[in-house]
Structure 1
Amino acid sequence: MAGVGGVAEAAGAAGAEEVVGVAGAAERVGSLGEVAAAVPGKSVGGTPAAPGVGVGPKRELRRAAVVVPVEESRGAAVETARMQDALAAARREIGRQRGEIFRAHLALLDDDAILAEVWGRIAGGATAPEAWVAATGRVAGEFAALADPYLRERGADVRAVADQVARVLLGLPRGAVSGDGVVFAEELTPAEAAGLDAGRVAGVVQRAGSPTSHATIVLRGRGIPAVVGWPGPDVAEGTPVALDGSTGEVVVDPPPGVLRRFEERAAAARAEQRASVARAGAAAVTRGGVPVAVGANVGSVGDARVAAANGADLAGLVRTEFLFLGRDSAPDVDEQVSVYLSIAEALGGRRITLRTLDVGGDKPLPYVPMAAEANPFLGVRGIRHSLAHRELFAAQLRAIVEVARRTPVSVMFPMVTSVDELVAARRVLDEAGGVVPGLRVGIMIEVPAAALTAARFTPYVDFVSVGTNDLTQYTLAAERGNPALAGLAGARDPAVLRLIGAVCREIGTGVTVAVCGELAADGTAVPELLGLGVRELSVAPPRVPAVKDAVRRCPDPLPAPTAPV
């Protein structure tokens, strides 16, 4: 992949009597610090980041500072080995997480520009910690100085990965909190967000950060309320705090009446969640009697257990790349079979939809050489990558076929654009023994060209699944990870809805249309998706109960889409 250093160089008030928002506050009382001082005991508004209400004592996230000791190099060979061991340990740690964010972090560990500088500094007499901190600090600093918000966000990724590896090198623990409550931090890393105990953390308040930061995305996926960009004063450990992640409200040491109202809201939300979970095992059927399968997107055996506990009807998307990333060689057929069967077992034998390896371009595999690409999002990704690496692809399909002989399985090919790609993929599947009773074959529709010509695929598939995350970014020419385009890259854009409607019309009867992107988890969008003809939804495991409830609330008849299709 192209080095990030090179990229940087080239790019050159419900519940409170008074809410003071960030915007406009300085106009009335001066600086944000003065805002906090001017309204003691009142609410100081931050930026809403993850919905939900939380109440609890303030708990500061405490990190041991990363301080590189002054010491002599033990020699280039020893320091290189130290560095390689730390990188391998970080790969294993990051590889246990799931999602695009952590795949991007894995890629940073293999960044040519960063590693070349690290090896050069070690050869010049630096210790491994000195070389790593200096090289990553320089690259992160270059990103931080750029005007482009997306590239600045990449700088945050570099800092997060740099911190993680430095802590391994120096034997330092990750950030931690003591006890239950509302966690305060300057800014969480994605790994810290993923490591929080959702059962003990009532919410998160970050003094920095943004609603589009990777740590915030992780918090949202885990159902932890969060506020970012909070300008309030220092808060003593253990002080009662109430927050609303939907409005940005944060009330420190709230008066009894305010505290009671927040607690009532939080209790109501918990009660509704418990009720949703209690009925989640039942089928989701609209008021008009239309059955809808609600599955879960999973990236590990642990995810599958959570999905089963939340009443998922199936695994609508298994991101198999979690098995292939963060290691030095591909898993063999036996390892794949074992893991896929474990996922099926965790789901109680429900159908699992195994998406074939979705890597390439922005998600490289260290053991599969790839040429650098100017635009990896339009490059050799998904099925293109698999067809270019037939041996790897065939091995995965042999594993999937073997699993299909023992449990209900669907195989799904990602980023299919043309019928020729699908036919080629099916040929490899047939060679792997793909004629197995009950094995269903489908594709992900993520490219507008595939959406507009969906009828051409129907002779070759049993189902299609619309990946609205990628479909949105390709339709709107708005990279989904770029916070500067957050207001543009919405899956409910009329153009995106038209494409989903086109898929449903083109695909006809006998072929199920599913949606597995973030839009499926938006309860307000569920009636519209069903009105278009979607009959299966797949979401993050914790969202299954709420989405099933959204289906049950759908009126009869199903509503026509608000945007013409």
Structure 2
Amino acid sequence: MKTMLKGIAASDGVACGRVYRLDEPDLHVSQQTITDLDYELNRFRQALEATVSEIETIKTRVNKNLGADRAQVFIAQMAMLKDRDLIGNIEHQMQDRHVNAEFAVSLVSATVEDELAALADNPYLQERLTNWRAVAKRLTAHLLGVTLPDLALVSEPVIVVTHDLIASEAVAANPQQVLGFITDAGGRTSHSSILARSLNIPAVVGTQAATHELTNGELVVVNGTQGNVMVGPTTEEVATARQTMAQRVKNQRKLEKLKHFETVSRDGVGVTLAANMGTVADLPRVVASGAEAIGLFRTEFLYLDAQHLPTEDEQFEIYRRVLEKMRPRPVVIRTLDVGGDKNLPYRTSQSEANPFMGARAIRQSLAHQQVFRSQLRALIRASAFGQLKIMFPMIATLDELRQAKAIYDDERAKLTAKRVPMGEIAVGMMVEVPAAALLADRFANEVDFMSIGTNDLIGYTLAADRTNQNVAYLYQPYHPAILRLIDRVISAGHAAGIPVAMCGEMAGDPIALPLLLGMGLDEFSMAPGTILKTRQLIRQLDAHELASLAETTVNSAGTSQEVITMVQAAVPNVLK
């Protein structure tokens, strides 16, 4: 029987396929006394062989889809499975205690964890601990006859259903096999939505019930444009969905023709279309997207995906690679933005009643200057290899900005004294705190550029947590108050003679686009999969005509719906 699951439209497009649940299975083991030891040893060795084969398959696919760097972790895991001391210890437990194989694995795992956990200051051993946990989990699953869901192993087209989408899980997926995403949690600007858009995969998030109502293998149609999931569609509905999917592919091929075009409005106003990226794994998509720059490189994922604080040299190599690949196109790299919902797993952080308004982003960097200085040195050294712009996040006061700039100047002077090669570097700030937007004219005189981070600016202005389903209705990018702040920042930047960009999700929103173009925004930075659609739209718009529309909405509109109505009336044919 057909049912409809409602959620939030997170990533445009329609997808039809079978459900693949990304659930964590029950891997609880119990002790059993074994009488046929040879049988148990043979069972263990078969599971060991199956685990090695599985990890080899994952390594090969990750290497193909994401590159050799991402595959290194699986090489380390396979080495563990061939470590005779480690594997021999499991077999000895089985022989000496006459216990079942999975229980022997748990005993050895407990010992390994105790030994390595006591050496928390050793990054290599902590990484080994993480790898061992992954290995033991796979080995236990094979012994229990349980299948671990793993997007790297998916070999047929599926719709992924999970509570929330995690970047480390999603990036291992083969984009050709993952047709769509459905999650319980999330909102339009949540990390799972941003990730889906960057992969250009249709997604519906915030359903609150997907993992309870959808079963493996069930046929569904995901409509990421309307925000609904059709469960048990009819033959006709499946045919319609697949026709829509085929049309999407055709449209994408047409858009590909715009890849090497400049972004110019119908009346000749040029703007820059840039891409947001979170990891080096995103770089091939960015390069292939037709982006004219990287408008936001979120460096926090270098820290979040690691088992230890990345060293200066580790960071330098990554920044250098990105700058070289994009040269001569500019790259905006945001300094570490953790806190709120992004905490480093290997660093103890103080519990806060309201972490989104606590010690996050630039506040963390100024409080932990050793980490901040290390990142700045890596960035300055990498600047010799491309066009670098450094951006400080969540600046709220002039004192914060000046302190951050002083630390940057100090590190640059030290490296200059050592004759370290470096290039010209622009230093800017994100405007995502209302106080910074209101004082934009003061800030604009002290930076080389400003970039508006609308994801947080909207949340802070309307006092609405974008991850909270109960107040999702308040998260309104078209709210006149938001538009007034954006207009104020753009005007202040231009008065000071500096460019103003936007790197929040609003930059790729087709309703917001005519307004931002009319306000004179210089750079739009968005998910790579949105760039060509945005370029196509801008080429149909008249920037000078839209200036009056932007002025009218800023000065006259009282609600988000009024703004939407005004935009749709002004450019009806373009927004179809």
TM, length-normalised to structure 2: 0.67
Specify the alignment match of 1:404 in structure 2.
Answer: 383
Specify the alignment match of 1:151 in structure 2.
Answer: none
Report if aligned partners of 2:11, 2:197 keep a CA contact under 8 Å in 1: yes
Specify the alignment match of 2:97 in structure 1.
Answer: none
Report if aligned partners of 2:326, 2:386 keep a CA contact under 8 Å in 1: no
Matched, 1:490 2:469: no
Matched, 1:467 2:441: no
Structure 1 314/242 Cα, relative in aligned 2: closer, same or farther at 3 Å? same
Letter in 2 for 1:225: P
Counterparts of 2:389 and 2:216 in 1: how far apart (Å)?
Answer: 53
Report if aligned partners of 2:265, 2:539 keep a CA contact under 8 Å in 1: yes
Report if aligned partners of 2:311, 2:374 keep a CA contact under 8 Å in 1: yes
Matched, 1:554 2:514: no
Tell me how far 1:545 sits from its aligned partner.
1.5
Specify the alignment match of 1:201 in structure 2.
Answer: 178
Structure 1 residues without counterparts, runs of 5 or longer = 1-35, 37-42, 73-92, 99-125, 133-162
Specify the alignment match of 1:355 in structure 2.
Answer: 334
- Which one of 490, 514, 527 corresponds to residue 504 of structure 1? 490
Counterparts of 1:186 and 1:364 in 2: how far apart (Å)?
Answer: 22
SS in 2 for 1:449: helix
Specify the alignment match of 1:175 in structure 2.
Answer: 149
- Which one of 235, 239, 254 corresponds to residue 275 of structure 1? 254
Counterparts of 1:200 and 1:243 in 2: how far apart (Å)?
Answer: 15
Specify the alignment match of 2:48 in structure 1.
Answer: none
Specify the alignment match of 1:225 in structure 2.
Answer: 202
Tell me how far 1:471 sits from its aligned partner.
0.7
Specify the alignment match of 1:543 in structure 2.
Answer: 530
SS in 1 for 2:26: coil
- Which one of 505, 521, 531 corresponds to residue 518 of structure 1? 505
Listed one character per residue, the Cα deviations across residues 43-89 of structure 1 (whole Å, up to 9, x for unaligned) are 532215445444555354486832301128xxxxxxxxxxxxxxxxx
Structure 1 274/372 Cα, relative in aligned 2: closer, same or farther at 3 Å? same
Counterparts of 2:257 and 2:210 in 1: how far apart (Å)?
Answer: 36
Tell me how far 1:404 sits from its aligned partner.
1.4
Specify the alignment match of 1:67 in structure 2.
Answer: 27
Listed one character per residue, the Cα deviations across residues 185-218 of structure 1 (whole Å, up to 9, x for unaligned) are 4756536555443322333567x66767865664
- Which one of 521, 542, 564 corresponds to residue 554 of structure 2? 564
Counterparts of 2:22 and 2:310 in 1: how far apart (Å)?
Answer: 37
Report if aligned partners of 1:284, 1:552 keep a CA contact under 8 Å in 2: yes
Q: How does 1:178-193 map to 2 (within 5 A)?
A: 179-183=155-159, 185=161, 190=166, 192-193=169-170
Structure 1 250/509 Cα, relative in aligned 2: closer, same or farther at 3 Å? same
Counterparts of 1:231 and 1:174 in 2: how far apart (Å)?
Answer: 16
SS in 2 for 1:287: coil
Counterparts of 1:305 and 1:215 in 2: how far apart (Å)?
Answer: 20
Specify the alignment match of 1:292 in structure 2.
Answer: 271
Tell me how far 1:429 sits from its aligned partner.
1.4
Counterparts of 1:368 and 1:235 in 2: how far apart (Å)?
Answer: 38
Report if aligned partners of 1:193, 1:215 keep a CA contact under 8 Å in 2: no
Report if aligned partners of 2:333, 2:390 keep a CA contact under 8 Å in 1: yes
Structure 1 242/127 Cα, relative in aligned 2: closer, same or farther at 3 Å? same
SS in 2 for 1:45: strand
Structure 2 residues without counterparts, runs of 5 or longer = 33-58, 67-102, 110-132, 417-421, 556-576
Counterparts of 1:402 and 1:440 in 2: how far apart (Å)?
Answer: 14
Report if aligned partners of 1:361, 1:373 keep a CA contact under 8 Å in 2: no
Specify the alignment match of 1:477 in structure 2.
Answer: 463
Specify the alignment match of 1:438 in structure 2.
Answer: 424
Tell me how far 1:385 sits from its aligned partner.
1.7
SS in 1 for 2:296: strand
Instruction: Name which of structure 1's ranges 395-404 and 323-332 shifts more when overlaid on structure 2.
Output: 323-332
Tell me how far 1:298 sits from its aligned partner.
1.1
SS in 1 for 2:497: coil
Counterparts of 1:359 and 1:46 in 2: how far apart (Å)?
Answer: 34
Counterparts of 2:215 and 2:353 in 1: how far apart (Å)?
Answer: 47
Report if aligned partners of 1:383, 1:414 keep a CA contact under 8 Å in 2: yes
Structure 1 184/390 Cα, relative in aligned 2: closer, same or farther at 3 Å? closer
Counterparts of 2:29 and 2:212 in 1: how far apart (Å)?
Answer: 34
Letter in 2 for 1:522: D
SS in 1 for 2:403: helix
Counterparts of 2:225 and 2:410 in 1: how far apart (Å)?
Answer: 51
Specify the alignment match of 2:230 in structure 1.
Answer: 250
Structure 1 374/185 Cα, relative in aligned 2: closer, same or farther at 3 Å? closer
Specify the alignment match of 1:46 in structure 2.
Answer: 5
Report if aligned partners of 1:48, 1:246 keep a CA contact under 8 Å in 2: no
- Which one of 333, 355, 359 corresponds to residue 380 of structure 1? 359
Counterparts of 1:166 and 1:211 in 2: how far apart (Å)?
Answer: 34
Listed one character per residue, the Cα deviations across residues 373-416 of structure 1 (whole Å, up to 9, x for unaligned) are 32222222222221222222222212211111231100111111
Specify the alignment match of 1:447 in structure 2.
Answer: 433
Report if aligned partners of 2:380, 2:412 keep a CA contact under 8 Å in 1: yes
- Which one of 370, 381, 406 corresponds to residue 391 of structure 1? 370
Report if aligned partners of 2:429, 2:450 keep a CA contact under 8 Å in 1: yes
TM, length-normalised to structure 1: 0.69
Structure 1 182/373 Cα, relative in aligned 2: closer, same or farther at 3 Å? closer
Listed one character per residue, the Cα deviations across residues 14-43 of structure 1 (whole Å, up to 9, x for unaligned) are xxxxxxxxxxxxxxxxxxxxxx2xxxxxx5
Q: Decide which structure has the larger Cα Rg and report it.
A: 2
The alignment covers a number of residue pairs equal to 442
Report if aligned partners of 1:182, 1:204 keep a CA contact under 8 Å in 2: no
SS in 1 for 2:488: helix
Counterparts of 1:53 and 1:197 in 2: how far apart (Å)?
Answer: 18
Tell me how far 1:512 sits from its aligned partner.
0.6
Matched, 1:318 2:297: yes
Counterparts of 2:453 and 2:186 in 1: how far apart (Å)?
Answer: 25
SS in 2 for 1:324: helix
Specify the alignment match of 2:79 in structure 1.
Answer: none
Letter in 2 for 1:65: P
Report if aligned partners of 1:333, 1:399 keep a CA contact under 8 Å in 2: yes
Tell me how far 1:345 sits from its aligned partner.
2.8
How big is the alpha-carbon RMSD for the aligned residues of Structure 1 and Structure 2?
3.8
Structure 1 290/66 Cα, relative in aligned 2: closer, same or farther at 3 Å? same
Tell me how far 1:356 sits from its aligned partner.
1.1
Letter in 2 for 1:520: A
